[in-house]
Chain A
Amino acid sequence: MDAVKEALREGRPVALFPDGGQAVLVVEVGRALRVFRLGEGGSFPSLASDFPSLDWFERALWERGYTPVGHPGPKPLRRHDLPYAFREFPELHEVPVGPVHAGIIEPGHFRFSVLGERILHLEIRLGYQHRGLLNRLLGKGPEAALLLAERAGSEPVAHALAFALAWEEALGRKAPPRAQALRLAALELERAFGHLGHLAGLFTDIGYAYGATQVGRVRALLQGEVDRLTGHRYGRNFVRVGGVWREGRPDLAALAAYREELSRLLPRLLKHPQVLDRMRYVGVVRRVEAEAYGFVGPTARASGVARDLRQEDPAYPGFRPVVRQGGDVLSRAQVYAEEALQALDYALGFLAHLPEGPLAQDLPPGDGEAMARVEAGRGEVFWFVRLEGGKVALAEGVDPSFKNWRALELAVRGEGLPDFPLCNKSFDLSYAGTDL
């Protein structure tokens, strides 16, 4: 137990999933993963009071029938048939928002406790998009399983890639070099247009129509290039277990031109004095909070945590993560802007130097288990698979959004209620990925 606590103090939890009555805890310490098996017979000791980063993980396990012994008060995350008690403050006004919203966005329920216009507490309740995806994966072969895993979150390429990598590693195989480069190019393009989407959303939310349409236009053009490369504007059905399904020809000159245009446009938009007034010092997540809650991706990097899975990836030699110290909406916007440019550079690099060779190799059915992580636009995507005879015997996926929702609860404390949508958009988390 002490070893577990020691690891959690130094690192952060990556995943917690049930396996035959035990809870398997995956912790990142430094850049390495350590795996602990906790408890037995369906109950395991809870560490959530000491490590708030484990709270949602333990609650997710609790509603799957496991017992976190000593958890301060488990509430369901995804199941709406179980009772749920919101924290109540009799002296404050409660503003319930959602799960049905005025705009076309994913469903989520937000319970604000406000004093006048000031938010003192926010509790987020999700689970409206729970599809039972992890159970659905059981018994599936590589093609059907990948189809499901790809649709887990809002970033299909990253999810498909992490799932395929785990599958390949479980069988001790690797995709051919050309497929590897193509996968990473698609991943970087997904990151670039995803980040531009966050930025366009931020500009829309503050009513900056010019900024939103300009960024939105380049984003749509970039998606056209994703379509040329992968055959789908969001990059679906491109990555397969063992390689990629197809190889398209994106227009490299056009990609370079979009990068050029963005490198002039984005800094100009983010220096607009009124934009600065809306974004600076708003929605601050401090570095200690980011570390204690184990936030990942741009959320963590905008709060000064210099961690990006691409740091140890040999395909990215000399990778330097984009880091900002402010932790506010502006810092996150700056990280998105800079990472979008960086992602386009890498995508261009991968596409310009594609190794020769086949696009995929067929993997024989086999047994084994492995886990894989991929740095998606929103942060770390985790997949674990156990194979028996080429079929899924156990699978677990963790979307980066699952680890980051708490950041929104912290960021809006003390802010005005009208600034909530802006804070929310600055994280732009996936509801479906959290609900699985």
Chain B
Amino acid sequence: MTAFLLLLLAPLFGGSVKWLKARLTHRRGASPLLEYRNLAKLWGKAWVRPTLSTPVFLLGPALALGGALAAASLLPLLPGPGFAGDFLVALYLLNLGRFFQMLSALDTGSAFGAQGSYREGLVTLLAEPGTLMALGAAALAGEGLRMAGFPVLGPQNALVLLLVLASLAVALLAEGARMPVDDPTTHLELTMIHEAQLLDHGGPLLALYELAASVKMLFYVGLMALLLPGPKVLVFLGLAAAWVLALGYLETFGVKLRYLRLPDFLSYNTLFGVLALLGAVWRF
């Protein structure tokens, strides 16, 4: 159920960020709904596979979206399956998609695919522990180790949950390949992280990747929505709108970080995660 919601909203989310960025730089901007037509257009195109690649090339886009949707289906915004430790499964379903995305980029044998893969590998490596600890902290502070049992923000757990939210915010920027971690609009191959992996994918394959990127970001927005009080779906929609604003401003008035400074930025994610976990264990 939640997966359908996220899939439906994903193009609108990406399109809205683009529209807001255009407005903020004094341009008229294309309609946020254009993204749906863009995906339909990509879907209708023919696709090609590099002659030297293997079918793994196709698994990348398929599993990137598949993994993201499977993870989203576990998100208890709407009624759905849930079990102890489901947040771990969801996180690693996302990583499964990423793993095949990296394999798929390596499979092309191009220098840029490999470069994008090892950079994305590094970003994941740096972002994963913090996110995991933050979610663990949320689970420990709640009832049962499942996402449906995550506590909501209140006076008793404000410190821990705020740390968890901060950690998830950094993780969203890293996993979604947005500024200041990565510039989704750049055409400069050598600065790319995420986009360098997609250079050889076109048509329907690119459409799958673009959908997957937005679904992944919405998954993190959903995780954050779980921790806020109020009706889940409404909170989720409100939070998604807030993230559109945040990303629009960040990508207009902010500057992309130097690649070699990424560890500094992502270490905040780890720091928040560790502090949240300590907070949850010692109950302060």
- Chain A interface (Cβ within 8 Å of chain B)? 95-97, 101-104, 117, 205-210, 212-214, 217, 272, 274-275, 277-278, 416-422
Contacts and interface: CB of A to CB of B under 8 A. Distances in A.
A96 B111 CA distance: 8
Given A213-B25, A213-B26, A213-B27, A207 B189 contact: no
Contacts of A213: 25-27
Contacts of A209: 21, 24-25, 185, 251-253
Given A207-B179, A210-B252, A102 B187 contact: yes
A133 to B, nearest CB: 29
Contacts of B257: 274, 277
A212 to B, nearest CB: 8
Contact of B255 (A95, A102, A207): A207
Contacts of A217: 26
B199 interface: yes
A421 B188 CA distance: 7
Given A102-B199, A275-B255, A416-B258, A210 B24 contact: yes
A291 B258 CA distance: 30
A98 to B, nearest CB: 9
Contacts of A210: 24-25, 252-253
A221 to B, nearest CB: 13
B128 interface: no
A277 B261 CA distance: 10
B259 interface: yes
Nearest to B251: A209
Interface of B: 21, 24-27, 111, 115, 179-180, 183, 185-191, 199, 251-261
Contacts of B27: 213
A102 B189 contact: yes
A420 to B, nearest CB: 5
Q: Name the 3 nearest CB pairs between A and B, nearest first.
A: A103-B187, A207-B256, A274-B255
B228 to A, nearest CB: 30
A103 B188 CA distance: 7
B190 A421 contact: yes
Chain B facing A: main interface SS: loop
Given A117-B260, A210-B24, A274 B189 contact: no
Contacts of A97: 111, 189-190
B262 to A, nearest CB: 10
Contact of A277 (B188, B191, B258): B258
Given A104-B187, A207-B186, A275-B255, 15 more contacts: A102-B188, A205-B188, A206-B256, A207-B185, A207-B256, A208-B255, A209-B185, A212-B25, A213-B25, A277-B257, A278-B256, A418-B190, A418-B258, A418-B260, A421-B191
Given A207-B186, A210-B252, A421-B188, A95 B24 contact: no
A213 B257 CA distance: 19
B252 A418 contact: no
A95 B111 contact: yes
A410 B189 CA distance: 21
B189 to A, nearest CB: 5
A206 B255 contact: yes
A95 B110 CA distance: 10
A419 B259 CA distance: 8
Nearest to A96: B111
B259 A117 contact: yes
Contacts of A275: 255
A217 B25 CA distance: 10
A207 B183 contact: yes
A416 B190 CA distance: 10
A96 B115 CA distance: 12
A207 B251 contact: yes
A417 B190 contact: yes
A417 B115 CA distance: 10
A417 B188 CA distance: 11
Contacts of A274: 180, 254-255, 257
A418 B259 CA distance: 7
10 contacts: A96-B111, A97-B190, A103-B188, A104-B187, A208-B255, A209-B24, A212-B25, A277-B261, A278-B255, A418-B258
